[in-house]
């Protein structure tokens, strides 16, 4: 649902509700939600990125590709450590669960997953 569709939806509710105070409250809520949208989008991008990086790091040993330890350390110290606690917690969970998930894949699926993670490692500058 786009922001415009959301606004129209909320306005249609406000039109159905009798009383000016309710409309003003709803209008204030819409403005607050729209103002928060960019911050929420940034937080979501960080969460997704951290999850992808955790999967790369977590699969390196199981897949047999190398990562540059200094680059991984710098990334963890300079970027991951500065993210919100929920993102850091998810990073850790993904990091520790990835090897087990890989061990449960078929041989072909593991080859595909490992190839993808190796390429992401290169793209993110983590490969030696």
Q: What is the pTM of this model?
A: 0.67
Digitized pLDDT (tens) for each residue of the chain, 128 residues in all: 455 555 555 555 554 445 555 555 555 555 555 555 555 555 678 899 999 999 999 999 999 999 999 999 999 999 999 999 999 999 999 999 999 999 999 999 999 999 999 999 999 999 98
- The answer for 106, left when phi > 0, alpha when psi is -120 to 50, beta otherwise, is beta
Read off the tokens for 114.
Answer: 């490992």
For 5, 6, 16, 80, the CA distances from 57, given in Å and listed in that order, are 40, 39, 53, 13
Domain residues of the chain, as ranges? 3-123
């Amino acid at each position: 649902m786009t922001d415009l569709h959301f606004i129209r939806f909320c306005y249609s509710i406000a039109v159905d509700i009798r009383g000016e105070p309710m409309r003003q409250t709803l209008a204030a809520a819409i403005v607050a939600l729209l103002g928060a949208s960019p911050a929420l989008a940034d937080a979501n991008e960080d969460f997704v990125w951290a999850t992808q990086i955790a999967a790369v790091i977590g699969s390196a040993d199981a897949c047999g590709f190398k990562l540059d330890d200094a680059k991984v350390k710098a990334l963890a110290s300079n970027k991951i450590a500065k993210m919100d606690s929920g993102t850091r917690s998810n990073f850790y969970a993904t990091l520790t669960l990835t090897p087990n998930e890989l061990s449960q894949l078929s041989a072909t699926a593991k080859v595909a997953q490992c190839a993808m993670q190796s390429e992401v490692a290169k793209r993110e500058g983590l490969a030696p």
